[in-house]
Structures are given as C-alpha cells and as structure tokens.
Structure 1
Amino acid sequence: MEIHPKISLLSLFSLLISSSFMVTLSHTAELCHPTDENALLEIKSQLGPNLSFFDTWQPNTDCCSWINVACDKRTHRVNYLAVGQNPDLSGQIPPVVGQLSYLETLWFNDMPRLTGSIPAALSNLINLKELALTRTNLTGPIPSFLGRLTKLTDLDLSENGLSGPIPASLSQLTRLQQLKIFKNRLTGSIPESFGSFKKLFFQAHENQLSGPVPRSLGRADFTWVDFSSNRLTGDASVLFGRSKRPAYINLNSNALSFDLSKVEFPSKLQGLDLGHNMIYG
C-alpha cells in the first residue's frame, strides 16, 4: 500500500521536468534567427540606440515580438521591417539591412534626418515585395540594381532628394503594380522600356523630367498616370485610347503639344488635367 504514493510522486516529478523542458524548447523555437537579431541591433545602434522607437529592441529577447518587426511563422526569419515616422532618427540606411535576406516588406519613411544614398546592400534583398523609402533626405541616383529585385510589387521612392535619370532596368520588375517616384529631382527622359508595364499605378510628378513621352508607352497598361510639373514635350496622345484603363491622367504643367480632338478617352477615365501645356483642338 506504501508503494503507490512513491510511484505517484516520482511520476509527478518526471512530468514536471518534462513540461519544463518542453516549455524551454517552445520558447527557444520562438526566437528569431541570430543573424536577423544581430542585424536589427546594428540598425538600432546606427540610427538612435537611445530613442524610444527602439525600446522593445533588446538583446536576448524574441525579436519577432519587437515593435515594427514581424517574422514568418514557419521559418521565424524577419520578413517585415518598418523604421520611421520619427524626426529624431538620424543617419544613413545601414548596409547591414542587406543581411535580412528574408525581408518581404521594408520601409524607411518620414525621417527628415535620414541622409546618404540608397545602399548597394539592398540588392541582396531578393525576396522584397514592397520597398518604401519615402519622405526622407536621401540623395543620389535611383540605383539600377533595383531592377534585380524581381518580386517587387510596390516601389515607393517619393518625396526625397533623388537625382539623375530613371533607370531603364526598372522595367524588369514585371510584377510591379505601383511605382511612385514623385517629388524628387529626377532628370532625363522616361525610359522607352516602360512600355512593357502592365496594370501599373505610376506617379512621377514634380521632377525635372524632359524630352518627349515615349511612343512605347502606348503599349503599356497604366491604371494611373501622373507626369505633371515636369518638362516633357511633344505628343502624349499615346497615353489615351478607348481600350486603355487609367482612371486618372495628369499631364499639367509641361510643354506638351498635340491635337486633343483626335484623342479617344479611356472608357474608365474619372480624372483628367491637361492644363498649362500647348495642347489644342
């Protein structure tokens, strides 16, 4: 009769040890990859280690639970990072971001003290679907390597200080649905290769783009077009046509000239602005 309590106590002790071990394993499995954690901590150290924005970014904690960070539930690799909306964050985009190779979404936005150029390290982020570098003081060119990030569906480089031409390599982004490069200092012409885009929301207004609108854009399928406040010249009638789908076309404040009476308007067009040009008819 005395053996049963001993067996019961022994079983209970074993169960407690086993449960504790399983909890430890479960906790360990939830931690993000060490490479990702180290990269994030380096980003923190370069942009503002003492800022409240990074309060939850603490060593030896699960970085998948940090604010503005998310991980894939299966791999536990960081696939989402949003840094910004804080005027105190300062510096340049840390190249170590390129080590977060599982990223699908990357934002650096609303950071007036973010300077420098777009780093080449971003070319390593081949899984990116959404890249937003917007409302900062980034300068330099739009790098041609962005055309190698072929999973991109959304590219927002608006409201910065970017300069130079629009790289033709962006036309290699065959999945792209939104391209926003407005309010920069971009120069040169719109690439001929952009005629290959399908279902693209395209905003390039308030730059210094010049030259004629490429005839190849007549083959493109835009859902939205805004080329206003540039220095474009010549005939932009290729953007029009009964079968085309844009809901909005804004060509205001350029030097365009064509006969509007010969243009067929897209059947789904809801907004049109052609003011401050030399359009007639």
Structure 2
Amino acid sequence: METKQKISLILFLFVTITQAAELCHPIDKNALLQIKAQLGPKTDFFSSWQPDTDCCKTWINVGCDNVTNRLTILTIGQNNELSGQIPPIVGQLTALRQLAFNDMPGLIGPIPSSLSNLVNLEELTLARTNLSGQIPDFLGKLKKLTDLDLSENRFTGAIPASLSLITDLRQLNLYKNFLTGSIPDSFSSFKNLALQAYDNQLSGSIPKSLKRAGFSWIDISNNRFTGDASFLFGNKNLILIYLKNNEFSFDFSKVVFNSGLRGLDVSHNNIYGSLPKQLSQLPLEVFNVSFNQLCGQIPTGNWLNRFAADSFANNKCLCGGPLRACK
C-alpha cells in the first residue's frame, strides 16, 4: 500500500474512533451550541464550547451523567457580556437536574414555556437578571424541584398558587422583585419550606390556612402586609421569622413560639401588647421588636439580655432591661 493511502487510512480510522468515543449526546450538543449562538458566541464564557470537542469532557459549566451521558448540569451566568432571552431550546435538555441562569444583567424577557419540559429538574436558579413578566403557572409541573430561586429580577403579578404542586420544595426565593397580592392559600400544603419573599409589593392579610404549613424559615419583610400574622409563629420547624417593615397588627402577648426559634424581627409594624416571657427562653441570635406599639416590662433571661436598646426602641411603653426602668 502506498504511503499516501496508509496516511489516509490512519486519519480515517482516527476520526472514526474519535467520533465513536464522544460521550456528548447529539441532542444536548446541538442545544448547547444554539444557546451559545443566541447569548454570546464570541464571549470568553463559551470559549470551551467548540463543536469539534466533547461537551461531557472539555466544556466548562456543564455536567453529564456517568451512565447515560445526558446533560444533567448547566450553569450560565456571572457575566456582563451575555445578553438576550433564555433560548427556548433549553427545553430539549430533558435530563437536566440543575439549571442556572444567574448574575446576567443582559438576560431579559419572560421565562420560556419550554422549561416545563424539564421535569427532572431538582434545582432551578434564575436570579439576579432582568427577566420580567409574571412567574408562570407551568413551573408547578416541575415536581422534582427542591430549590427554586427567582430572586432579584423584574417579575410582576401574583405568586402562582401552582407552586404548591411542587410538594418536595424546600427553598423558594422570590425576594427583590415587583410581586403583588398575598401568599397563596395553597401554600398551606408545604411541609418544610424556607420562603424568602422580602422586598416586593405584596399586600393584604396572610391566609389563616398557613397555620397548617410547615415553614423552616419565612422572610416577608419590606412589603405591605396587614392584619394578623401571629399564627405563623407556632410552626414547629420554624427557626427564622422576619416580618419587618409591614403593617401587621396583632396582640404579641398571645403569641406562642416554636422552642427552636433563632431569629425574630418584627420591627416597624403596628404590633401591640407585651413581650411574652417565653422569649427569654428561646435561643435567639437575631431579635428586633422596635418601632411598634408594645408595652410592659421586658422579660429577663440569658437570651434577651444579649440585645441592646435599639432592638426594643420606639415602642409605646416598653421598659426594663436595656431601656429605662419600669415605674
């Protein structure tokens, strides 16, 4: 065999073997290359995403399953040069378990409906971007989600009641948007949810059904809520509750706390009554009841003694402890 023929045969075999050894699924690879083309084909972020290389071996910010070789992790963000809308073709990455578009000021538009195809997602992060529109009902179809982060965007409208269909959800971040309405009544079905919805435009009263909900953490500060929120404190798993800067009004002396509560901030409301003695027995690391209508003597105890006067200031007639002595 002539030398040129031998070289051609060797090259053919090399290319064939190389192609056969590629792990990246063609559907996933095609989708990723289209994502690159739409968001920033010339940016350094996608420099490793080359069509002649294996996405499972050499591409950064992606991860593949060791058995099926389907794409399971995709993280895009922390980049000021990427811009555009979330490419709908993301919905073809049906094996994804973790998806993130975060820290991208150039990311705009709504959440595409194609994301409803990603039924294997366990973690979805769409945070610190300029995404807008309403939070879509179809996110409730992503039943395997445990973490949903939609914080620091430009979302408007109500919190979808359909999110309660995600029964294993443990972390829901909605803070720093422009959401309106209240917390859905259907959220009473959650068993162990950390809810952060502070810095929105939420308003009205909180549904009494949430007394049955299992919250591990709730922060709805800096909204426009009104009425009674005292029933929230009895959740047995609750360790942090932040209600500051709202218009809540209820008798604080009747509140019963979960014994494991570690953080409590109800400052800047219209809460009245006295401080329950139980507060002195709680392992509090954060505490603030300032700027309310509270009266009476501050309970003494190891825990409350740790907090300075500004945690109690600007109430109607609280006294004792770090404030002036009671008459």
Residue number in structure 2 paired with 1:67: 60
Q: TM-score, normalised by structure 1?
A: 0.90
Aligned-pair CA distance for 1:29: 4.2
Residue number in structure 2 paired with 1:4: none
Aligned-pair CA distance for 1:213: 0.9
User: Would you say the 8 A contact 1:245–1:267 is kept in 2?
Assistant: no
SS at match of 2:138: helix
1:218 to 207, 211, 219: 211
Are 2:161 and 1:168 equivalent residues in the alignment?
yes
Give the 5 Å matches for 1:85-100: 85-100=78-93
Q: TM-score, normalised by structure 2?
A: 0.77
User: Would you say the 8 A contact 1:83–1:109 is kept in 2?
Assistant: yes
1:153 to 124, 146, 151: 146
1:259 to 247, 251, 274: 251
SS at match of 1:39: helix
Q: Deviations over 1:246-271 (max 9, x none)?
A: 11100001110111100011111111
Structure 2: any 5+ residue segments left out of the alignment? 1-11, 274-327
Are 2:113 and 1:126 equivalent residues in the alignment?
no
Rounded to whole Å, the distance in 2 between the matches of 1:212 and 1:55 is 50
SS at match of 2:32: helix
Give the 5 Å matches for 1:1-281: 28-65=20-57, 66-241=59-234, 244-281=236-273
- Which amino acid in the other structure matches residue 36 of structure 1? D
1:240 and 1:25, CA in 2 relative to 1: closer, same or farther beyond 3 A?
same
Q: Deviations over 1:223-281 (max 9, x none)?
A: 1000100111100011112x612111000011101111000111111110001111111
Rounded to whole Å, the distance in 2 between the matches of 1:140 and 1:253 is 26
Same amino acid, percent of matched pairs: 63
Q: Deviations over 1:114-171 (max 9, x none)?
A: 0001000101101100000000000000000000100000000000000000000000
Structure 1: any 5+ residue segments left out of the alignment? 1-19
SS at match of 2:107: strand
Rounded to whole Å, the distance in 2 between the matches of 1:213 and 1:27 is 58
- Which amino acid in the other structure matches residue 59 of structure 1? P
- Which amino acid in the other structure matches residue 88 of structure 1? E
Residue number in structure 1 paired with 2:283: none
SS at match of 1:137: strand
SS at match of 1:36: helix
Rounded to whole Å, the distance in 1 between the matches of 2:20 and 2:225 is 58
Root mean square deviation, CA, Å = 1.8
Q: Deviations over 1:88-109 (max 9, x none)?
A: 1111100010010111100000
Rounded to whole Å, the distance in 2 between the matches of 1:234 and 1:216 is 14
1:47 and 1:23, CA in 2 relative to 1: closer, same or farther beyond 3 A?
closer
Rounded to whole Å, the distance in 2 between the matches of 1:49 and 1:80 is 20
- Which amino acid in the other structure matches residue 99 of structure 2? L
- Which amino acid in the other structure matches residue 139 of structure 1? S
Q: Deviations over 1:34-93 (max 9, x none)?
A: 010000000000000000100110002111121000000100000100000001111110
Greater RCO structure (CA 8 Å; 6+ sep): 1
Q: How many residues align?
A: 262
SS at match of 2:231: helix
Rounded to whole Å, the distance in 2 between the matches of 1:22 and 1:92 is 39
Moved >3 Å (runs of 4+): 20-27
- Which amino acid in the other structure matches residue 271 of structure 2? I
User: Would you say the 8 A contact 1:226–1:250 is kept in 2?
Assistant: yes
Residue number in structure 2 paired with 1:13: none
